[in-house]
Amino acid sequence: MLVIITVSILVGCSNESKKVVDSKDDSAQTVVENYFKYKNEKNKDKLLTTLTEHWNTQNVVWGFENLDSIKIINIEEEKDEKVKEGYLNNGRGSINGIIENNLKIYKVKYEVKYKNEGVGSQDSGTYDWWYFVIRKDESSPWLIDDMGV
């Protein structure tokens, strides 16, 4: 009986430590999920909390007035090293000095519906985009730095 209790406690502690690690890893994905949530709510202030500072400029067109809805269909972390290298060497990573440990990339399949077609940069439909999520260091928050096909 003592062996069963001891094993149960060890398994419980082991699972608990995995949960902590997983929730830390999930924080980058949560930022992407929140981005879609706030965009669907048309809440620019909250949306900006998911993005790096370069998004907070006057020339960014949010298109909220034409947006009917947007939602994630699927989200997966991108593991292809070539995509990561592309961001780090040729994308915004070549400008902002982010290192590989502070970069996560998510391939997001999402559905967007607009009130009027042909008004914005895309029409209603289903799209697959990469979201490049970065942090300055291990104690900094994850933020979306770039996105696209």
What are the pLDDT digits (tens) for 61-113? Answer: 899 999 999 999 999 999 999 999 999 999 999 999 999 999 999 999 999 99
**AA letter at 74:** N
pLDDT band at 26 (very low <50, low <70, confident <90, very high): low
Q: Which residue has the higher pLDDT, 60 or 123?
A: 123
Q: What percent of the chain has pLDDT over 90?
A: 72
**From CA 134, how far away is CA 38, in angstroms rounded?**
19
Give all domains of the chain, ordered by start, each with its CATH number: 28-148 (3.10.450.50)
Q: What pTM was estimated for this model as a whole?
A: 0.80
**From CA 39, how far away is CA 78, in angstroms rounded?**
22
Q: What is the DSSP string of 64-119?
A: TTTEEEEEEEEEEE---HHHHHHHHHHSTHHHH---GGGEEEEEEEEEEEESSTTS
